[in-house]
Homo-oligomer: A and B are copies of this chain.
Amino acid sequence: MALAHALLAALHQEPGTGYELTRRFELSMGNFWQASHQQIYRELGRMAQQGWLELQLQPQQGKPTRKVYSVTTEGLAALRDWLQQPQPPAVLRDDLLVKLYAGAENPAAVQAELLRHRALHADKLATYQALAAGCFACPQDLPRAEQFIYLTLRAGLSYERQWLAWCDETLSALQELG
């Protein structure tokens, strides 16, 4: 149940509503964990029932009541416990490589897809670089907890740079293959 732990990590950094968490997952956390708002609301409900979260209701006129979740003592204990449990590394699982595997059936289509992906990776890399230059310009001066968050951004940078380089390498190889 890694989504639950990702939500614990996010809410421990700062309490928030389902909506705010969805935003956060689109920005910094989405770098390494993705979740839709439907998934998040459902999981928050479960976690609150389990006692990992408590919620404070903030009624608003006209709009639905804001439900602000924060991590309970049990929730923090669960997060700490999970931090100590060994987990298998993320495995590569990529459609594009399945396509490349069968690439001899249509090299031109695979080349086009590689070019498209190359551009998407370049975009994402640029976004991360802008974030690193902006919010994290002086990582040493950040509060301790945010220095750890900065290290996750560096993973994103490394990941995107790697794919960009691999796309280039593979496009060259395809050219030579003809």
Contact = CB atoms under 8 A, between A and B. Distances in A.
In the complex this chain forms, how many copies of it are found?
2
Interface stretch (A42-50, A58-66, A87-95): A87-95
A139 to B, nearest CB: 9
Given A102-B148, A151-B173, A95 B158 contact: no
B117 A89 contact: yes
A155 interface: yes
B29 A92 contact: no
A87 B90 CA distance: 20
Nearest to A8: B102
Given A110-B83, A154-B170, A92 B144 contact: no
A21 interface: no
- Most-contacted residue by chain B among A9, A33, A82, A151 (CB, 10 A): A151
A80 interface: yes
- Most-contacted residue by chain B among A80, A91, A145, A173 (CB, 10 A): A91
Given A2-B95, A5-B102, A89-B120, 11 more contacts: A9-B102, A33-B93, A33-B94, A83-B109, A84-B106, A90-B92, A90-B96, A147-B177, A154-B169, A158-B166, A159-B162
15 contacts: A13-B101, A32-B98, A33-B93, A33-B97, A84-B109, A87-B96, A87-B99, A88-B120, A89-B117, A89-B121, A92-B155, A100-B148, A104-B144, A159-B166, A161-B162
